Amino acid sequence: MRREAENFWMHQLVTIYPFGMNDKVDGMDGFATDMNCAKKQNFKHYFSNPLPNVKRRAKFTINNSTSTNKLTEAIQKETPENYEIRDMYQMFRSNKYMETTKLLKEVENTRKDKESLLASKLLAIIKLNRKKHIVTTEKIPIFIKVDFLNSIMEKLGIRNMIHDSKIERMLHLKESNCKVNLVYNLVKNNFLRFSNYNNTLKNLTQNQLVRIMNEECECKNSPEFVDTHYGHIITGNTAVIEYPKLRTQIEKGTKHRQDFTLTLSKFRGILYKLGTDLVESIARKSKDRELLKSKTIVTERLISIGESRWFHKLGDQQTVPADNMCHKIDRTTDEKFIVTCVDKAANNFAITCKKFYLMKLSEELGITINNKVISFSGNDTYELSTKDTTTIFSEYERVYRERKITANTEKLNIPLIFAIPKFHKVPIKYRFIAGAKTAISKPLNITIVRILEVVKNYIRNYCNQTKNRSGWNTYWSVNSSSIVANNLKNRKPRSDTLFCADFSNLFTSLPHEDIIDAIMYLTTRTFEAQFGKKEIHCNQYRAFFSHQYHKNYTPYTLYEVKYMVEFLIKNSYVRFADRNFVQIKGVPQGGNASPLLADLMLTAMEIKYLGTCDN
C-alpha cells in the first residue's frame, strides 16, 4: 500500500519526494494545496534549495553535576571579583580553539566547598587556552635559472652547490628572509623539435594547397607502410624515415629531451653565471648592496666545487658528447610527411602522407578541389566566414572591453585546425582540433570556465543531496575512471555483463541553440539558488557569488553570462589555407571551455529526462 501511495503522489505532484522531502510538501498528511501550480512549474520544486550543509563547531557543554552547578553559581554572584571571571568564561564558551574537556575534568575533580578555587582554576585555564597570535614570516622565494644542457649536470649535483656552507655564510642566507630555488631552462622536447604540422599549416596558402592536391605523392614507393584502407602512408613505424639521426630521436618518443655537448669550459661558464645571478638576486631582494662585493668570491667558490665534482665523476674527460644530436626535421621528411602525435598515446609519433593529411582537413572543412579549381562549399559543421581577420578581432576586442576582460589581442591569433590520427580505430580515423594558447578566444574561454566550474559544483552538490534523501541519482558525470570502477565494485547484486557506449563525433554533433539552452538551464538554476546574490564575481583564477564589491574581480549578471556563452559558441573560428572558417554546429574543439560545455550539456539532458520519469 505504501508503495502504491508513493507512486500516486510522485505522479500527482511531479516530484521524487512524495512524503515530506520537498518544500511544497508539509508532511505525510499535509500536502501542498495548490496542485495546479506545482504542475505548471513542471518539476521546478525539484531544484528548490536544499538545507545548507553547515559545519557546526563543537559547543561548550557542562555536565549537570553538583560541582559544575556550584561553579556556575559562584561565577554568577554579583561581586566585583567575579566580573572578570564571568567575561573570560563567556569568551571561553564562544572560542572553538579552547580545550573544553580539560576544563570539565578540572571542574569534576574539584571539591564542592572550594568555590574560590574553582573560579581561580577556571580563570587560569581560560588564560592558558586563550588563542595565541603567532606571527610567522614566510621567506621570499628567489628562483635562479640555469640552462640544462646535459643530464650529467644533475649527476654533478648543481642544485645543492648553492647551499654550500661557505656561500651561505657569505650571503647571510640563514639570517635573511630569502629562500633560494634552482630551476632549469630545459631544451625543447622531441615533439616541439620534430612535429611539423604547425609550421606546414601556418605557411600553407591556397595556391600551395591546390598544387599539393594535384601532385602525385610518393606513397607508392614505400608500399610496406601504406594503409590498405586509404592507400596512403599512415604509420608509427619510424623505418619510413630515411635520415638515421632523426629516426633514432623519434624512436625515443615525443617527451624525450636531447643532451647537448657539454665541455668543462662551458660548465665553468654556467657556474659563473649561476654565481652572478645568485648574488645579484639576493642583494636585490634583501636590499643589501654590500653583498655585491662578494660576487667574485661566490663565483670562484662555485667553480671550485664544480671542477672537483667534474674530476671526481668524469676523471680527465673534458667533454660529455651529445647522443645522436638532431636539431630539426630534415628537408626530405618535411616535404613528404606530416609528423604529429597519436591520439590516446601522446608519447608516440605518427607519420602521415602530406597530401592525404591536407585532404582530410579539406574534407572536414567542406573544401573540394577538382583539378586546379578550389571550392569552399562548406558542410554541416563549418562554413567559409564572410568576415576578415580584422573584423573578427574587432568583435572580440569589443566584448573584452565591455565585459572588462583583460586581453592583449596583439599577441593573439585565429587558431589553426589540425588533426591527429586514432590508431586504435579500424579503419584509422582522425581527431580534429582547433586550439592554441594564443587563440583570440582564449581570455573569454578562461572566464567562462571559471563561471561554469561554479555551476557544475552547485549542480553536483545539489544532485548528491537529492540522491541521499531519495535514492534517485540524477548526476552521472565522473571526473575519473576510478569512480566507475568503485561503482562496479560496490554494486549489489553483482553482474557479469558490462555494456559500453560512446558518442560519435560528440563535439561536432550538438546544435548551437541546444547547447546554449542546456547551459543556461543549469546556470539559471544556480543563480536562483544564491539567496539574493544576483552577480557572480570572476577573474582568471576563480569565481564566486556575492552582492559586495571585490577588488580584482569582475561581477557578471545572468544576462551577461548568457551573452558571453552565446558569443563564444557562435563565434568560433579556425584558419586553413589563408581562409577563416566559422563553426556553425557543435562545441568548439580545443578551447578551454569545450569539455565543460559538452559535460554540462549532457548533464542538463540527463536531468531533464529523469524529471519526466515516473519512477
Q: Considering the domain boundaries, does residue 60 fall inside one?
A: no
Residue 45 has pLDDT above 60, yes or no: no
Whether 408 is covered by a domain: the verdict is no
Check whether residue 228 and residue 339 sit in a common domain. Answer: yes
Q: Is the pLDDT of residue 112 over 50?
A: no
Q: What is the pLDDT of residue 150?
A: 92
Least confident of 42-51, 127-136, 524-533: 42-51
- Residue 404 falls inside a structural domain: no
Average of per-residue pLDDT across 471-490? 85
pLDDT in tens, 376-434: 999 999 999 999 999 999 999 999 999 999 999 999 999 999 999 999 999 999 999 98
Kindly state whether residues 349 and 311 are assigned to the same domain: no
- With respect to residue 54, please indicate whether it lies within any of the assigned structural domains: no
Please give the pLDDT value at position 439.
94
Encode pLDDT of 299-309 as tens digits: 999 999 999 99
Residue 180: pLDDT over 60: yes
**DSSP letters along 429-464, please?**
EEEEE---TTBTTHHHHHHHHHHHHHHHHHHHHHHH
Among 270, 278, 277, 271, which residue's Cα sits nearest to residue 170? 278
What average pLDDT score do residues 554-579 get? 96
Residue 184 and residue 263 in one domain: yes
Same domain, 230 and 368: yes
Q: What mean pLDDT, rounded, does the chain reach?
A: 83
pLDDT reported for residue 31? 39
* Shared domain check, 475 and 553: yes
Per the structure, the count of domains in the chain is 5
Per-residue confidence (pLDDT) for residue 26, from 0 to 100: 41
pLDDT value for 492: 79
Residues 539, 474 share a domain: yes
Spatial separation of the C-alpha atoms in residues 120 and 110, rounded to whole Å: 12
Same domain, 342 and 274: no
Residue 452 scores a pLDDT above 90: yes
d(CA 603, CA 615): 19
The predicted pLDDT at position 37 comes to 45
Cell 508532511 identifies what position? Answer: 27
Residue 119 in contact with residue 82, Cβ under 8 Å? yes
The answer to whether residue 273 sits within a structural domain is yes
Q: Is residue 405 part of a domain?
A: no
User: CA 410, 414, 417 angle in degrees (round to 5)?
Assistant: 150
Question: What single DSSP character describes residue 400?
Answer: H
Are 163 and 226 in a shared domain?
no
Interhelix angle 115-129/80-94, nearest 10 degrees: 50
Tell me whether residue 489 is in a domain: yes
Burial of 324 (0-12, 13-18, 19+ CB in 10 A): middle
Residue 515 scores a pLDDT above 60: yes
Residue 427 sits in the same domain as residue 487: no
| Whether residue 568 sits in one domain with residue 479 | yes
Question: What is the rounded average pLDDT of the residues 179-194?
Answer: 93
Average pLDDT over residues 343-364: 96
Of 165-174, 290-299, 448-457, 484-493, the least confident: 484-493
Residues 367 and 489 in one domain: no
Residue 9, pLDDT score: 61
Q: Which domain holds residue 72?
A: 66-129
Q: Is residue 58 part of a domain?
A: no
Entry pTM: 0.74
Same domain, 156 and 235: no
pLDDT at 128: 52
Last residue of a domain, one of 290, 320, 350: 320
